[in-house]
Chains A and B, each alone.
Chain A
Amino acid sequence: SAVISQKPSRDICQRGTSLTIQCQVDSQVTMMFWYRQQPGQSLTLIATANQGSEATYESGFVIDKFPISRPNLTFSTLTVSIMSPEDSSIYLCSVVGSTSTDTQYFGPGTRLTVL
Chain B
Amino acid sequence: GEDVEQSLFLSVREGDSSVINCTYTDSSSTYLYWYKQEPGAGLQLLTYIFSNMDMKQDQRLTVLLNKKDKHLSLRIADTQTGDSAIYFCAESRISNTGKLIFGQGTTLQVKP
| A residues in contact (CB < 8 Å) with B | 1, 30-31, 33, 41-45, 48, 58, 90, 92, 94, 96, 100-109, 111
Contact = CB atoms under 8 A, between A and B. Distances in A.
Contacts of A45: 99-100
B interface residue count range (under 10 / 10 to 19 / 20 to 34 / 35 or more): 20 to 34
A102 B96 CA distance: 7
Contacts, number: 55
A42 B42 contact: no
A45 B43 CA distance: 14
B33 A103 contact: yes
A21 to B, nearest CB: 13
Contacts of A103: 31, 33, 45, 48, 96
B88 interface: yes
Contacts of B92: 104
